[in-house]
Amino acid sequence: MNSSKNDLLIAPCGMNCSVCMAYLRSGNKCLGCRLVDASKPKTRTQCKIKTCPSLHEGDTGFCYQCEKFPCDRLKHLDKRYRTKYNMSMIDNLEFLKKSGIEKFIKSENKRWTCSKCNGTICVHKGYCISCGELRRK
**Is residue 19 in some structural domain?**
yes
Least confident of 17-26, 59-68, 125-134: 59-68
pLDDT digits (tens, 9 = 90+) for 62-115: 899 888 899 999 999 999 999 999 999 999 999 999 999 999 999 999 999 999
Residues in Cβ contact with 39 at an 8 Å cutoff, skipping those fewer than 6 apart: 28
Cis before 70 (ω within 30): yes
**Is residue 118 in some structural domain?**
no
- What is the pTM for the complete model shown? 0.85
pLDDT at 106: 95
SS (H, E, C) the chain: CCCCHHHHCECCCCCEHHHCHHHHCCCCCCCCCCCCCCCCCHHHHCCCCCCCHHHHHCCCCCHHHCCCCCCHHHHHHHHHHHHHHCCCHHHHHHHHHHHCHHHHHHHHHHHCECCCCCCEECCCCCEECCCCCECCC
Range of the domain at 68: 5-111
Give the count of domains, the chain: 1
**Is residue 100 in some structural domain?**
yes
pLDDT at 137 over 80: no
**Is residue 41 in some structural domain?**
yes
